[in-house]
């Protein structure tokens, strides 16, 4: 395993299970939303508004504190020929290798698990909301009900018992696949090659490259159009990569403030 | 920013708008006011301006106390504010800020208490100097707090924001000095405010220039209005301070104007970040451009 891909080791786990994750193959998603329901049922995530959005069959709208799996529906003209092309994709937390939410959390409530995933410890989170602004995917949200931040845990409780996450278990087409990330990445690359071979030239992997702006995702996707069409950022970069420079500039600004005070006061001595 | 070729999911945001309320821009102003006031107070104290030093120390103590209230009030779970002290993380500007404030606040309160009671002058001097050294950290770390997010207008501006905030803080502190002491005693405050306002104006123009089309959230909508009014107030306050800063009417008028300008700058920057997160084009278009630069053929 590439060292950069082992966030659990970087977090201090010496003897840990392989990094686990999702591969969501949207080419076989049928938009049944079983993943959304299974997630809510298993994790006791509250209902969050039964409204019609007008966005095709998507009445969930986005990921939030109370939605940890979200199925997107995109209606578009078929790329070749007449008719409708209907894209469906189940979105989820990316469990980034370089996770901005975890980096900026001031209480340590967000933590890396031995599986390399990122979870919120609800008994520690004080609802500061910093993670919400830091996530480049708009995944994590703060609950209006309990004031805390919540997101997908990759069913941490199930993983500990050797079970697969509820959404993957419920998916009837194996659009949501769960397993060791290395195996999933190989499977994903094979699937893209197969799709390209049968003429699905738009098939592309998302979040599978460890050299990307988040060090690779723990939840990768096979998409049939550009990421932004699904509401995903095309080239996300973890904000903390620029943090050393930000601290240096802030130190320079602080120094200039001292200099201004010295000038203002020294000039007054004469 | 050009809308061409820009695609999104039903026009919905990609990143989440901050959940922070008006408490946070209020804190950005008050924290800046407090930090810069402590620094100027130390200078005034050391150069024999006790009246100005005392006023600034009291202002800093009041502003940082209100800041604490605003910060705790904004939390989703207020009774757990103390969890901020569980860890110290350099990757979290909020964590670093918490520890800066934990060091600074007691010093600022002590400096004010010693100045008012006029007891223990040596302890007062020590508190004044250490608070004055902590002050610039308090005034500038908040720029990193905003810069270290996925809100496009905040992150893209991370180079200039520290200087914008430091300048804005000095503007406010100088304004407080002009407002709080007899005009004849306000010379240092006037000079500090002038330097701060000049820095603020320079940092803002650099920001707009470097960001180009990505600076749009700072120039349009509610944020644009706030930034425009702030700019007018800064220039007006600056002019009054320079021309009539030592007069009985001019000093407090310039002081109030500059403090208002500083507050509006903070609310303007805050709103720009919110607006940039709401509109997916500020997230998607620059990232698309970046990919095009890396892979020209795709």
Average pLDDT over residues A62-66: 97
pLDDT of B249 strictly over 70: yes
Q: What is the pLDDT of residue A84?
A: 85
CB-CB under 8 Å, A55 with B98: no
CA atoms A250, A256, A260, A262: torsion sign: positive
CB A184 within 8 A of CB A167: no
Instruction: Provide the pLDDT confidence category of residue A78 given band limits of 50, 70 and 90.
Output: confident
Instruction: Provide the pLDDT confidence category of residue A270 given band limits of 50, 70 and 90.
Output: very low
Buried b (16+ CB within 10 A) or exposed e, B172-184: bbbbbbbbbbebe
CB A71 within 8 A of CB A90: yes
CA of A265 vs chain B CAs: smallest distance (Å): 5
Average pLDDT over residues B165-190: 96
CB-CB under 8 Å, A141 with B16: yes
Q: For A111-159, write each residue's pLDDT tens digit.
A: 999 999 999 999 999 999 999 999 999 999 999 999 999 999 999 999 9
**Gyration radius of chain A's alpha carbons:** 21
Average pLDDT over residues B124-138: 98
What's the CA gap between A265 and B180, in Å, rounded?
17
Higher local confidence (pLDDT), A267 or B282: B282
How far are the Cα atoms of A18, A35, A75 from residue A168, in angstroms, in the given order?
Answer: 18, 7, 25
CB pairs under 8 A between A and B: 257
Q: What is the pLDDT of residue B298?
A: 42
CB-CB under 8 Å, A257 with B135: yes
Phi, psi of A112 (to 5 degrees): -90, 135
What's the CA gap between B86 and B225, in Å, rounded?
40
Look at residue B4 and give its three-state secondary structure: coil
Q: What is the pLDDT of residue A4?
A: 55
Please name the member of B12, B143, B150 whose beta carbon is closest to the beta carbon of A135: B150
What's the CA gap between B220 and B272, in Å, rounded?
8
DSSP state letters, B92-117: -HHHHHHHHHHHHHHHHHHHHHHHHH
Q: Is B280 on the interface with A (CB under 8 A)?
A: yes
What's the CA gap between B102 and A39, in Å, rounded?
40
**pTM for this one?**
0.96
Residues 6+ apart with CB under 8 A from B161: B143, B144, B146, B147, B154, B203, B207, B269
Q: What sections of B118-249 are H helices per DSSP?
A: 121-147, 152-156, 161-180, 187-211, 216-219, 221-244
Q: What is the pLDDT of residue B295?
A: 66
Other CB atoms within a 10 A radius of the CB of residue A156 amount to 16
pLDDT of A268 strictly over 60: no
Average pLDDT over residues A32-55: 94
Q: What is the pLDDT of residue B4?
A: 58
The kind and range of the H/E element at A87 are: strand A84-92
Instruction: Residue B10: list chain A partners with CB under 8 A.
Output: 53, 55, 231
CB-CB under 8 Å, B162 with A229: no
pLDDT of B3 strictly over 90: no
DSSP state letters, A129-196: -HHHHH-TT---EE-TTT--EE----SHHHHHTTPPPHHHHH-TTS-EEEEEHHHHHHHHHHHHHHHH
Which structure tokens are listed for A33? 């939303």
Q: What is the pLDDT of residue B1?
A: 58
pLDDT > 90 fraction of chain A, expressed in percent and rounded = 91
CA of B51 vs chain A CAs: smallest distance (Å): 14
Phi, psi of B56 (to 5 degrees): -70, -40
**Total H helices, total E strands in chain A:** 8, 10
Instruction: Provide the pLDDT confidence category of residue A83 given band limits of 50, 70 and 90.
Output: confident
Please name the member of A107, A141, A249 whose beta carbon is closest to the beta carbon of B83: A107
What's the CA gap between B180 and B255, in Å, rounded?
9
- Give the mean pLDDT of chain A: 95
CB-CB under 8 Å, B287 with A239: no
What's the CA gap between A185 and B182, in Å, rounded?
71
Which structure tokens are listed for B243? 């021309």
Q: For B22-52, write each residue's pLDDT tens digit.
A: 999 999 999 999 999 999 999 999 999 999 9
- Give the mean pLDDT of chain B: 96
CA angle (B160 as vertex; B155, B164 as ends), nearest 5:
115
CA of A116 vs chain B CAs: smallest distance (Å): 18
Higher local confidence (pLDDT), B115 or A49: B115
Q: What is the pLDDT of residue A77?
A: 84
CB A236 within 8 A of CB A256: no
Q: What is the pLDDT of residue A48?
A: 82
Instruction: Provide the pLDDT confidence category of residue A85 given band limits of 50, 70 and 90.
Output: confident
How far is C-alpha B202 from the geometric centre of its chain's CA atoms? 15
């Amino acid at each position: 395993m590439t060292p950069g891909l082992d966030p659990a080791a970087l977090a201090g786990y010496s003897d840990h299970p392989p990094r686990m994750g999702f591969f969501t193959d949207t080419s076989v998603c049928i938009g049944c939303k079983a993943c959304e329901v299974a997630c809510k049922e298993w994790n006791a995530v509250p209902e969050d508004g039964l409204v019609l959005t007008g966005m095709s069959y998507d009445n969930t709208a986005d990921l939030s504190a109370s939605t940890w799996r979200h199925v997107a529906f995109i209606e578009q003209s078929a790329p070749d020929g007449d008719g409708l092309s209907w894209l469906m994709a189940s979105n989820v937390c990316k469990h980034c290798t370089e996770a901005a939410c975890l980096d900026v959390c001031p209480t340590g409530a967000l933590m890396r698990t031995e599986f390399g995933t990122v979870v919120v410890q609800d008994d520690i989170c004080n609802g500061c909301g910093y993670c919400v602004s830091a996530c480049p995917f708009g995944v994590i949200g703060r609950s209006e009900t309990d004031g805390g931040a919540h997101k997908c845990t990759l069913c941490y409780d199930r993983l500990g018992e050797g079970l697969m996450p509820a959404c993957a278990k419920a998916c009837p087409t194996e659009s949501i696949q769960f397993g060791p990330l290395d195996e999933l990445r190989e499977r994903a690359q094979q699937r893209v090659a197969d799709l390209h071979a049968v003429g699905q030239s738009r098939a592309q992997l998302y979040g599978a490259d460890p050299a990307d702006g988040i060090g690779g995702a723990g939840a990768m996707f096979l998409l049939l159009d550009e990421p932004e069409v699904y509401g995903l950022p095309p080239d996300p970069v973890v904000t903390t990569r620029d943090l050393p420079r930000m601290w240096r500039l802030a130190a320079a600004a602080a120094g200039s403030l001292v200099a201004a005070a010295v000038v203002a006061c020294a000039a007054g001595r004469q | 920013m050009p809308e061409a070729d820009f695609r999104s999911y039903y026009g919905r945001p990609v990143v989440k708008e901050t959940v922070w309320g008006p408490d946070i821009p209020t804190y950005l102003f008050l924290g800046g006011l407090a930090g810069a006031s402590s620094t100027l107070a130390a200078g005034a104290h050391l150069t024999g301006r006790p009246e100005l030093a005392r006023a600034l120390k009291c202002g800093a103590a009041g502003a940082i106390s209100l800041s604490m209230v605003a910060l705790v009030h904004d939390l989703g779970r207020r009774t757990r504010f103390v969890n901020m002290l569980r860890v110290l993380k350099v990757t979290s500007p909020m964590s670093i800020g918490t520890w800066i404030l934990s060091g600074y606040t007691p010093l600022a309160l002590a400096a004010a208490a010693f100045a008012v009671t006029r007891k223990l002058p040596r302890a007062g001097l020590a508190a004044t100097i250490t608070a004055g050294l902590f002050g610039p950290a308090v005034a500038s770390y908040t720029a990193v707090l905003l810069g270290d997010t996925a809100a496009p207008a905040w992150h893209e501006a991370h180079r200039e924001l520290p200087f914008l905030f430091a300048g804005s803080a000095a503007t406010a502190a100088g304004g407080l000095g002009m407002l709080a002491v007899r005009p004849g005693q306000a010379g240092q405050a006037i000079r500090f405010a002038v330097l701060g306002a000049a820095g603020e104006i320079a940092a803002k123009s650099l920001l707009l220039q470097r960001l180009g089309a990505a600076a749009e959230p700072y120039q349009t909508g509610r944020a644009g209005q706030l930034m425009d009014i702030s700019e007018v107030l800064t220039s007006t306050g600056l002019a009054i301070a320079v021309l009539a800063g030592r007069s009985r009417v001019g000093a407090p008028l310039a002081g109030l104007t500059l403090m208002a300008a500083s507050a509006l700058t903070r609310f303007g920057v805050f709103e720009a970040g919110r607006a940039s997160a709401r509109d997916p084009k500020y997230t998607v278009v620059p990232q698309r451009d970046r990919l095009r630069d890396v892979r020209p053929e795709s």
